[in-house]
Amino acid sequence: MSAPHLPKVAGIDPEVPVSTQTAAPLREIPAAPGAFIQDRLAGWVSDLTTLHELTERLASTATLDAALNELLHAGAALVGARRGLLVLERAGTTTRSTTLGLGLGPADLGHLETVERSATALGRVLDGPPEAADARDGIATPDLLGDQDLDPRHREVATRLGYAASYALPLASEAAGRLGGAVWFYDEPGEPSEKQRHLVGLYARYATEHLARLTELERARADIATVAEELLPSRLPRIPGVRLAARHRTGPQGGGDWYDALPLPDHALGLAVGSVGGSGPSAMAAMGRLRASLRAYAVMEGEDPVAVLSDLELLLRLTEPARTATALFAYCEPAARKVVLAGAGHTPPLVLGDRRCEYVETTLSAPLGMLACWEAPSVEFSPAPGETVLLYTDGLLRRTGDAMDRAFARLHSAAASVPKADRHDPAAVTDHVLRAMLPDGLDRSDSTEDVVVLAAHFD
Residues 337-348 have pLDDT tens digits of 999 999 998 999
pLDDT of residue 287: 86
For residue 384, pLDDT beyond 90:
yes
CA contacts within 13 A on the Cβ side of 25: 1
Please say if the pLDDT value at position 174 is more than 90: no
Which of 185-199, 286-300, 344-358, 430-444 has the least mean pLDDT?
430-444
The pLDDT value recorded for residue 407 is 94
Of the candidate ranges 2-16, 263-277, 428-442, the one whose mean pLDDT is the lowest: 2-16
Cα–Cα distance between 417 and 394 in angstroms, integer?
20
**Is pLDDT at 306 greater than 70 in this prediction?**
yes
Query: What mean pLDDT comes out for the span 286-315?
Result: 91
- Above 60 in pLDDT, residue 9? no
pLDDT at residue 37, rounded to an integer: 75
Query: How does residue 284 score in pLDDT terms, banded at 50, 70 and 90?
Result: confident
In this prediction, residue 217 carries a pLDDT of: 83
Report, as an integer, the average pLDDT of 112-119.
92
327-353 as b/e, with b when 16 or more CB fall inside 10 Å?
bbbbbbbbeebebbbbbbbbbbbbbbb
Q: Is the pLDDT of residue 33 over 50?
A: yes
Q: Taking a C-beta distance cutoff of 8 angstroms, is the pair 376, 342 a contact?
A: yes
Q: What is the pLDDT of residue 441?
A: 66
- Of the listed ranges 136-140, 339-343, 383-387, the least confidently predicted one is 136-140
Distances in Å between the alpha carbon of 242 and those of 238, 264, 317, 459?
8, 14, 35, 6
The region of weakest confidence among 147-151, 166-170, 266-270, 275-279 is 275-279
| Mean pLDDT, rounded, for 324-333 | 94
- Which pLDDT band, with edges at 50, 70 and 90, does 136 fall under? low
Q: What pLDDT is attached to residue 2?
A: 47
Question: Where do the domains of the chain lie, and which CATH numbers do they carry?
Answer: 46-224 (3.30.450.40), 233-458 (3.60.40.10)
Range of lowest pLDDT (44-58, 169-183, 243-257) = 243-257
Strands 325-333 and 83-88: unpaired
Decide which of 229 and 119 is more confident: 119
What average pLDDT does the structure give for the chain? 85
User: Residue 90: its pLDDT value, please?
Assistant: 66
